Amino acid sequence: MISRRDFLQVSMAASAMVGASGFGNWSRLAAKQSLTQDDLLQFDTYGNVSLIHITDIHAQLKPIYFREPEINLGVGDAFGHVPHVTGADFRKLYGIADGSPSAYALTYNDFTAMAQTYGRVGGMDRVSTVINSIRADRPDALLLDGGDTWHGSYTCHHTQGQDVVNVMNALKPDAMTFHWEFTLGSDRVNEIVEGLPFAALGQNIFDAEWDEPAELFKPYKFFERGGVNIAVIGQAFPYMPIANPRWMFPEYSFGIRDENMQAMVDEVRGMGAELVVVLSHNGFDVDKKMAGKVSGIDVILSGHTHDALPEPVLVGDTIIVASGSNGKFISRVDLDVRDGKMMGFQTKLIPIFSDVIAPDPVITKLIDEQRAPYINELTEVIGQTDSLLYRRGNFNGTWDDLICQALIEEREADISMSPGVRWGPSILPGQDITREDIWNVTSMSYGEAYRTEMTGEFIKVILEDVGDNLFNVDPYYQQGGDMVRIGGMGYSIDVFKPQGSRISDMTLLKTGESIDPAKTYQVAGWASVNEGTEGPMIWDVVEDHIRRKGTVHVEPHENVKVTGA
């Protein structure tokens, strides 16, 4: 049996050393020229089981740029702990040199300059090369997809997810769990899942009418690998019917359901599972809390909140692995399982530097086949940007500011709102903005841009409500998105206050006047969860705006003041 002390030793070795986490051997290389595919893939095969984790791809089949967050605040027990550490603090924590490849991959500073040195990241053809390399070391490695896979691009939208399904099937995953997939509508999700050549898992996917486990999605699946009986339990995003339109999948209910998770862990242990892996779309803080409440989980592969951590986080005897988003990383997790116990682990977060890792030509061809029918629409240049466009962060990124400005100008509104989603690649200064780029940050099945009247009081209710979904001290009450993005209005937020008293100083920017609770304002926004929302599609609004401007320039905004952090 593994003692707590052994675990701590392994963990400490991982923090200090190259060998245990595989992190560090490439982090100090100064330039791309000295970074090789062999450096990125180097791993001394360990133990008897390998897991490969990829999550939150958001349909990004081709290499992209992706800037990590500058602001990622943790509240309550999460304050100051990963993943709520960014920039220089993050580099210090993991011993990452400024300007190094890992500084580029994992932090936001000097993003534009380093992007020009190190190039794009991701691409499912590069991911395939890495998976093939791991499978060459360990042919029976399990490939596990954490979900948010069939959503987020022009081709994904137009093929109802089929382009991504075709490419992912070629990578031969063993199991998957879900979130945005359900926004394709339950008929389409059911249709795809019925034909999937691998397990579709979610112990918390229930039939809404009867509050019983949904038939189509199994709670877990057993795999025998390296002589080890492995149970993989799925955990879908708990708050789909709240964060996304419930009317698109009315037959399904979700929730965290940690009591059922415990029942499933006990059930698989009773059936002889020697290793219990949870493939989760909870979000990192929820996974941390769940690991402390549910006993008997060895590994949680964590998705949803798009965090990329070079080392696993330990909660009791459970390790939590977070593998980023948009195809930018995959995690390799090697485990030593003996006598029905996990005795040790070695992990490596592998950044997919697309100029360093050779593409797998079979997958490149397959991706290009999916894109071919749409290639003219995808590649049409709509305009240029002379400043960095990015999204990730608790508050407005420049992409959001551009979208909010488009809503105000094209829809003649006082105030605009854009959802605090965490997907969407970045665009460098000087780059063309293509139609594909616009869809990468706006594509969804409920993209109608509404225009409506709201009172000042109601706008505050919305900000307080969304703020509490992000900054509630109990992770089980968080939904894992970022703050709703606001255009045309400034405000202050104290993230440590309770709901109802976080937001103050709401100001209408065009006049400089305070927002009057009783007054009515014209508000434009998109991605409403309500059925029957009307308006032009957001990607058309943004395209019209960029086309009219020709070249866009967006300075980082100053309209949200964060206090208390």
Q: Is 169 in the site for another protein (CB under 8 A)?
A: no
Residue among 324, 525, 539, 557 that touches another protein (CB under 8 A): 525
CA atoms in the 13 A half-sphere facing the CB of 364: 9
Backbone angles phi, psi at 415, to 5 degrees: -135, 145
Least distance in angstroms from the C-beta of 39 to another protein: 31
347: left (phi over 0), alpha (psi -120 to 50) or beta: beta
- CA distance readout (Å), 21 to 44, 311, 313, 466: 10, 6, 12, 36
Residue 550 CA, chain-centre distance (Å), reads 31
Among 379, 504, 530, 551, binds another protein (CB under 8 A): 530
Report in angstroms how near the CB of residue 245 gets to another protein at its nearest. 9
Minimal distance, residue 239 CB to another protein, in Å: 6
CB under 8 A: which stretch of 59-67, 219-227, 250-258, 357-365 binds another protein? Answer: 250-258
Query: Residue 319: which of 17, 40, 2 has the closest Cα?
Result: 2
> Binding of another protein at residue 401 (CB under 8 A)?
no
Q: Does 522 participate in binding another protein (rule CB under 8 A)? A: no
> Which CB atom, from 46 or from 182, has the smaller least distance to another protein?
182
CB-CB contact of 492 with 503 (8 Å): yes
Stretch that binds another protein, among 167-175, 444-452, 505-513, 540-548 (CB under 8 A): 444-452
Site membership for another protein, residue 187 (CB under 8 A): no
Q: Which of 388, 384, 435 is nearest to 542 (CA)?
A: 435
Taking the complex as a whole, the smallest distance from the CB of residue 464 to another protein amounts, in Å, to: 9
Q: How far is the CB of 353 from another protein (least distance, A)?
A: 25
Does residue 77 interact with another protein by CB under 8 A?
A: no
Tokens 């029942």 sit on residue? 263
- Among 5, 3, 14, which Cα is nearest to 312's? 14
Number of residues that bind another protein (CB under 8 A): 60
Question: CA-based angle 366:370:373, to the nearest 5?
Answer: 135
Nearer to another protein, 224 or 474 (CB): 474
Is residue 93 packed enough to be buried (19+ CB in 10 Å), middle (13-18) or exposed (0-12)?
A: middle
- Among 165-173, 195-203, 239-247, 396-404, which window interacts with another protein (CB under 8 A)? 239-247
Q: Which stretch binds another protein (CB under 8 A): 12-20, 85-93, 332-340, 466-474?
A: 466-474
Q: Which is nearer to another protein, 177 or 528 (CB)?
A: 528
Q: What is the spatial distance between Cα 316 and Cα 357, in angstroms, rounded to a whole number?
A: 36
Residue 421 CB, nearest distance to another protein (Å)? 6
Q: Does 266 bind another protein (CB under 8 A)?
A: no
- Tell me the one-letter amino acid at 31: A
- Asked whether position 243 contacts another protein by CB under 8 A, the answer is yes
CB of 479 to another protein, least distance (A): 6
Contacts with another protein, 417-436, as mask; x by CB under 8 A: x-xxxxx-------------
**203-222 residues near another protein, rule: CB under 8 A:** 208, 211
The residue range among 87-95, 312-320, 368-376, 451-459 that interacts with another protein, by the rule CB under 8 A, is: 451-459
Contacts (Cβ under 8 Å, ≥6 apart) of 246: 240, 529
Element (H, E) at 434: strand 432-434
Q: Does 262 bind another protein (CB under 8 A)?
A: no
User: Quick one: three-class SS letters along 298-336?
Assistant: CEEEECCCCCECCCCEEECCEEEEEECCCCCEEEEEEEE
For residue 474, CA distances in Å to 74, 300, 316, 466 come to: 11, 19, 19, 15
For the beta carbon of residue 2, count every other beta carbon within 10 angstroms.
15
Decide if 12 contacts 188 (C-beta within 8 A): no
Q: Compute the 3-state secondary structure of the chain and give helix, strand, coil in percent, each to the nearest 5.
A: 35, 25, 40
138 binds another protein (CB under 8 A): no
By the rule CB under 8 A, 120 interacts with another protein: no
Q: Which of 345, 482, 489, 515 is in the footprint of another protein by CB under 8 A?
A: 482
- The residue (of 363 and 538) whose beta carbon lies closer to another protein is 538
**Sign of the CA dihedral running 120, 125, 128, 129:** negative
309 part of the interface to another protein, by CB under 8 A: no
- Which CB sits closer to another protein, 153 or 253? 253
44 binds another protein (CB under 8 A): no
Cα angle 140, 56, 494 (rounded to 5 degrees) comes to 140
Q: Kind and range of the H or E element at 134?
A: helix 124-137
CB of 86 to another protein, least distance (A): 17
For position 555 contacting another protein by CB under 8 A, the verdict is no
**Cβ neighbours around 137 below 10 Å, total:** 15
- Confirm or reject binding of residue 294 to another protein (CB under 8 A): no
Under the binding rule (CB under 8 A), the answer on residue 24 touching another protein is no
Give min distance, CB of 304 to another protein, in A: 6
List beta partners, residue 319.
299, 314
- Write down the residue that tokens 């389409």 correspond to: 188
Q: Rule CB under 8 A: choose which of 166, 364, 455, 522 binds another protein.
A: 455
Q: Which of 329, 450, 521, 539 binds another protein (CB under 8 A)?
A: 450
28 is a contact residue toward another protein (CB under 8 A): no
Rule CB under 8 A: which residues touch another protein? 179-180, 208, 211, 237-244, 246, 253-256, 259, 283, 304-306, 417, 419-423, 448, 450, 452, 454-455, 457-458, 461-462, 465-466, 468-469, 474, 476-477, 479-482, 484, 499-500, 525, 527-530, 532-535
